[in-house]
Amino acid sequence: MEMITVQTQPIEGQKPGTSGLRKKTKVFMGAHYLENFVQAIWQGIDGAVGKSFVLGGDGRYFNEQAAQVILRMAAASGATKVIVGQNALLSTPAASHLIRKRKTDGGIIMSASHNPGGIDEDFGVKFNMANGGPAPEDVTNRMFEATKTLTSYDILQAQDVDLSTVGSSKLGGMEVEVVDPVVDYAELMETLFDFAKIRVLFAGGFTMKFDAMHAVTGPYATEILERHLGAPVGTVLNGDPKPDFGGGHPDPNPIWAKPLVDLVMGPDAPDFAAASDGDGDRNMILGRGVYVTPSDSLAVLAARAHLAPGYAAGLAGVARSMPTSRAVDRVADAKGIACFETPTGWKFFGNLLDAGRVTLCGEESAGTGSDHVREKDGLWAVLLWLNILAETGLSVKDLLSDHWATYGRNYYSRHDYEAVDAIRAEAMMEALRAKLVDLPGQTFGAGMVESADEFAYDDPVDNSRSEGQGIRIVFAGGSRIVFRLSGTGTVGATLRVYLEAYESDPTKLQMEAETALSDIIATADKIAGIRASTGRDAPDVKT
């Protein structure tokens, strides 16, 4: 085995977004592309010498080849050990757990999350820190700076490591330990939830479907739901991970997981259904005849988490990303606990979790999690729901109705305009920015504007400041519109419009969201001129 230094030059556009670097797979497969970025990762963390890492991915096309390159570069760059999921598979939350449990210096996760996979689709790489959480902005900025100046990288010339068999081997001077990707994670879940109680629920005939969408959670869900908890075989659908996710978008929302939504709305609906995404950190929750928005799910979990053993002591506090509905704020208020508002991106929860200031956090983008790891966790959310359903004996629908009757309802929807011309999208945001100062006091269909600003976050733990995190317009009575450009797309710009209306009138808690939000939707277009700017008549995706 020989270590070689390969001459390279900076490649443009390797700026990590909301969650790592995501590009078309063919771009990642291009000459030096992956290698340059991995070299930039080493530079961003002051080198790999003497360090240990976790490595795994969601199994999408190029996953294992990329893992072999990363291993050879880690070995050449002085790392002492890399713990790899068998067949280079690890869900994002399982990787976060392994980093924490095995006290490594961080980990590399290969995923483009919910984006489709395949040679013509997307690939991604992100770095997680020793706390198990996504690298914060100062670190990703250092990586980006490194991508602009690097001139070479070191790599070992060696045969591929056998990643199909659990066990340890040597790659140059570095140890490679291949581990079962599921075992440690399943053990962790058992410490948080009342598995015995959930087993009784299933034994009593409770029915469930979990759509793994041919992505990484298949093996996790099958092991935990069917083997540990006794759910009937066949509870997990699409449980075998595929490099192209079976040709679908592994995005657990009513658009991409439509068959599951149709099932719960139909005559053969199970009591409970859920889905997870490419890398297992997102979740969608459904009950018979009902879809639970991610924002409502966060609020319900915050209200009832104490029913699960891992959270019996109550919550230190909660956090949500700014565009997430303010339903959870009402729960926090009632419980007298802190509620933090952070920018979009799980990385912003890390400091609050590390400092013990929050126990639960979540995002409108189908992410919920707690201090058990430093990533959002799809299956964890499903298990917490199951634990709550087992404890209360309520149906999902009744649990939601009960929640709204107690706290009021934050009607909520997100409209996405995808692959919009980036220059036009930026121009629309710029025009909105210019309007902000004049908006307060003006009246639209949605009511009078109470405040309008561009969100900036001052981290209360490390005092760092993040600016330009979305434009928010708040109306008297609690309605709100947020405009943001996504940081995870790979083509053009994705405009996200987040729409929220609060309702406490008991006779108006069961409306269709789009009906309840119609004034807000019209007001959003009126203020921002969305149709004119994007050239689109309607959003591509509504969640």
Q: Which residues bind ligand G16 (CB under 6 A)?
A: 18-19, 113-114, 277, 281-282, 321, 344-346, 363, 365, 367, 486-488, 496
Dist. CA 293–CA 284, nearest whole Å: 8
Least distance (Å) between residue 469 CB and ligand G16: 10
Q: Decide if 271 contacts 397 (C-beta within 8 A).
A: no
Could you tell me the smallest distance in angstroms from the CB atom of residue 345 to ligand G16?
4
What single DSSP character describes residue 227?
Answer: I
**What is the smallest separation between the CB atom of 190 and ligand G16, expressed in angstroms?**
25
Dist. CA 299–CA 325, nearest whole Å? 9
**SS3 of residue 418 by DSSP:** strand
Nearer to ligand G16, 115 or 235 (CB): 115
Which of 523, 519, 524 has its CA nearest to residue 502?
A: 519
Give the Cα separation of 280 and 242 in Å (integer).
Answer: 14
State in angstroms the smallest separation of the CB of 18 from ligand G16.
4
Rounded to an integer, what distance in angstroms lies between the CA atom of residue 306 and that of residue 359?
Answer: 11
Residue 478, exposed/middle/buried by CB under 10 A (0-12, 13-18, 19+)? middle
Residues with active-site annotation: 113
Q: Is 542 exposed, middle or buried (0-12, 13-18, 19+ CB in 10 A)?
A: middle
Nearer to ligand G16, 59 or 172 (CB): 59
Of 86 and 324, which CB lies nearer to ligand G16 in the complex structure?
324
Least distance from ligand G16 to the Cβ atom of residue 334, Å: 26
* Cβ-contact 146, 44 below 8 angstroms: yes
Q: How many helices (H) and strands (E) does the chain have?
A: 18, 27
- Residue closest to 104 by CA, chosen among 54, 140, 56: 54
- In the complex, minimum distance from the CB of residue 488 to ligand G16, in angstroms, rounded to a whole number: 3
CB of 135 to ligand G16, least distance (A): 12
Contact call for residues 222 and 379 (beta carbons, < 8 A): no
Q: Say how far apart CA 275 and CA 131 lie, in whole Å.
A: 27
C-alpha 521/C-alpha 345 separation (Å) is 25
Query: Please, which residue, 75 or 482, has the CB nearer to ligand G16?
Result: 482
- Per the structure block, which two tokens stand in for 309? 């053993």
**Which residue, 304 or 374, is less far from ligand G16 as judged by CB?**
374
3-class DSSP state of 426: helix
Region of residue 103 (phi > 0: left; psi between -120 and 50: alpha; otherwise: beta):
left
Nearer to ligand G16, 104 or 494 (CB): 494
Q: Which is nearer to ligand G16, 16 or 172 (CB)?
A: 16
Minimum gap (Å) between residue 114 Cβ and ligand G16: 5
Six-digit token pair at 219? 């093996």
Q: Residue 288 or residue 496: which is nearer to ligand G16 going by CB?
A: 496
- Helix or strand holding residue 333 (H, E): helix 327-335
Q: Where are the alpha helices (DSSP H) in 193-245?
A: 195-203, 217-221
